[in-house]
């Protein structure tokens, strides 16, 4: 291997590890050539002694219990309903291998370690707040997944958007990975999956002479970033959204809000054990409540718990 780079030689010699992982270990000083730490690009002369000390990788702790405060709205032997705060990642992934909702669930409910994804059946974006249901048994997880597939789980969101939206409407546009930016999703993608979002405007407002609207959205499908992508495709991006910003006015830079203004405020489903329709309501967190006066809105403009739950149990939904 004389003349080869150190990282390439390691990749050939240790095929069970990725080249990227080996390079990370070299840069961390966990690889020694003739007793000395060196660089990944170091060119071997031949005849050297190489010692490597494998290091734990962040993903090895992805399913480790962590004491993370959880706002438990409801729990029984079958399900757990969580009010997720903004900023909390739901499931471990690249860049967030710890400190997630899953880690917190494993700490508070150790029995979830026997379930796929610790009982998580659906997700919210990191900076989206609101209600989520988690299965506590394999039977409950199967039942919830089937309900999600059958589109019988009711998920309602409050979204604050730029612009004066129609009174109500329905967005039918596939959602798939953006071909130019793999970190984004796009509406109308030929490779995307069918997606449908119902919405209705609850109240109009203004921020520095620019119209804003508070809309209630109901998901018929649950694609990644669906509401954010669908509303942006109509020309109504969410306030504070750092990614989907088309037609966002320049005054947004002075808006005192640093995340997409999206909150999952109502959740309804058929209980996996009792088969009864159950539902929950959660008002927006303080950051969204503090935003209301800046938009010419008040608490009275928000849906009220009694009316929302009554509508759910009567089978009503936006635009129906």
Residue 19 maps to which CATH number?
3.10.290.10
Whether 139 and 165 share a structural domain: no
Q: Which of 16, 40, 55 is the last residue of a domain?
A: 55
Tell whether 191 and 117 lie within a shared domain: no
Q: Work out the percent of the chain whose per-residue pLDDT is above 90.
A: 75
Domain boundary at 86, 116, 150, which? 150
- Please identify, among 118, 150, 182, the residue that sits at the C-terminal boundary of a domain: 150
Spot the catalytic one: 7, 67, 77, 125.
125
Least confident among 77-86, 218-227, 228-237: 218-227
- Confirm whether 267 is domain-assigned: yes
- Clarify whether residues 31 and 64 are in a common domain: no
Interatomic CA distance for residues 196 and 230, integer angstroms: 9
Looking at the structure, do residues 100 and 30 belong to the same domain, yes or no?
A: no
- What's the whole-number mean pLDDT along residues 55-66? 74
Q: What is the pLDDT of residues 261-300, one digit of tens each?
A: 999 999 999 999 999 999 999 999 999 999 999 999 999 9
> Residue 314 domain-assigned?
yes
Close Cβ partners of 144 (under 8 Å, ≥ 6 residues apart)? 79, 121, 133, 135, 153, 269, 272
Same domain, 169 and 309: yes
Residues 138 and 167 in one domain: no
Q: 10-19, 52-61, 90-99, 189-198: which range is least confident on average?
A: 52-61
pLDDT of residue 59: 60
Considering the domain boundaries, does residue 235 fall inside one? Answer: yes
290 counts as catalytic: no
Task: Let me know if residue 209 belongs to a domain.
Answer: yes
CA distance 28 to 21: 11
Interhelix angle 19-27/6-13, nearest 10 degrees? 130
CA 56 to mean position of chain CA atoms: 26
Same domain, 73 and 138: yes
Claim: this prediction has a pTM higher than 0.85? no
Q: Indicate the pLDDT class of residue 20, thresholds 50, 70 and 90.
A: confident
The parent domain of residue 68 ranges over 60-150
Same-domain check for residues 156 and 249: yes
| Cβ neighbours of residue 161 closer than 8 Å, sequence gap 6 or more | 212, 213, 215, 231, 236, 237, 238, 239, 261
Residue 317 banded pLDDT, cuts 50, 70, 90: low
Does residue 47 lie in a domain region? yes
Q: Are 121 and 144 in contact (CB under 8 A)?
A: yes
Asked if residue 96 has pLDDT above 90, the reply is no
User: Any idea what the CATH number is for the domain that residue 318 is in?
Assistant: 3.30.2350.10
Residue 156 and residue 279 in one domain = yes
CA-based nearest residue to 305, from 276, 285, 279: 279
Residue 319 has pLDDT above 60, yes or no: no
Let me know if residue 125 belongs to a domain.
yes
The reply to whether 74 and 206 lie within a common domain is no
Q: How confident is the model at residue 58 (pLDDT cuts 50, 70, 90)?
A: low
Long-range residue pairs from 101-106, CB within 8 A, at least 24 positions apart, any chain: 101/68, 101/70, 101/132, 102/62, 102/63, 103/62, 103/63, 103/64, 103/65, 103/66, 103/68, 104/66, 104/67, 104/68, 104/69, 104/70, 105/70, 105/80, 105/134, 106/63, 106/64, 106/65, 106/66
Among 192, 191, 212, 188, which Cα is nearest to 202's?
212
In total, how many domains does the chain have?
A: 3
Residue 269 lies in a domain: yes
Whether 13 and 94 share a structural domain: no
Residue 1 within a domain: no
207 and 304 inside one domain? yes
Q: Looking at residue 313, what is its pLDDT? A: 83
């Amino acid at each position: 291997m004389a003349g080869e780079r150190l990282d390439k030689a390691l990749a050939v010699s240790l095929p069970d590890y990725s080249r990227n992982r080996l390079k990370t270990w070299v840069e961390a000083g966990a690889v020694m050539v003739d007793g000395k730490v060196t660089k990944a690009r170091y060119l071997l002369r031949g005849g050297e002694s190489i010692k490597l000390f494998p290091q734990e990788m962040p993903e090895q702790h992805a399913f480790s219990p962590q004491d993370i405060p959880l706002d438990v709205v409801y729990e029984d032997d079958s399900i757990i309903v969580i009010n997720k705060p903004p900023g909390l990642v739901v499931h471990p992934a690249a860049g967030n291998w710890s400190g997630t909702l899953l880690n917190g669930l494993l700490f508070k409910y150790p029995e979830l370690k026997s379930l796929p994804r610790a009982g998580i059946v659906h997700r919210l974006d990191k900076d989206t707040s609101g209600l989520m249901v988690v299965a506590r048994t394999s039977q409950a997880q199967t039942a919830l997944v089937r309900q999600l597939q059958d589109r019988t789980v009711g998920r309602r969101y409050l979204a604050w958007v730029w612009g004066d939206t129609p009174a109500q409407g329905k967005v039918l546009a596939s959602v798939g990975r953006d071909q130019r930016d793999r970190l984004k999703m796009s509406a109308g993608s030929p490779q995307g999956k069918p997606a449908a979002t119902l919405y209705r405007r609850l109240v109009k407002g203004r921020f520095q002479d620019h119209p804003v609207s508070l809309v209630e959205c109901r998901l018929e499908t649950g694609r990644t970033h669906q509401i954010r992508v669908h509303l942006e495709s109509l020309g109504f991006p969410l306030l504070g959204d750092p990614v989907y910003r088309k037609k966002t006015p320049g005054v947004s830079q002075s808006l005192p809000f640093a995340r997409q203004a999206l909150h999952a405020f109502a959740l309804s489903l058929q209980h996996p054990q009792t088969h009864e329709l159950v539902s929950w309501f959660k008002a927006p967190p303080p950051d969204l409540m503090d935003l209301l006066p800046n938009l010419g809105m008040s608490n009275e403009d928000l849906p009220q718990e009694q009316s929302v739950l009554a509508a759910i149990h009567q089978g009503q939904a936006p635009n129906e």
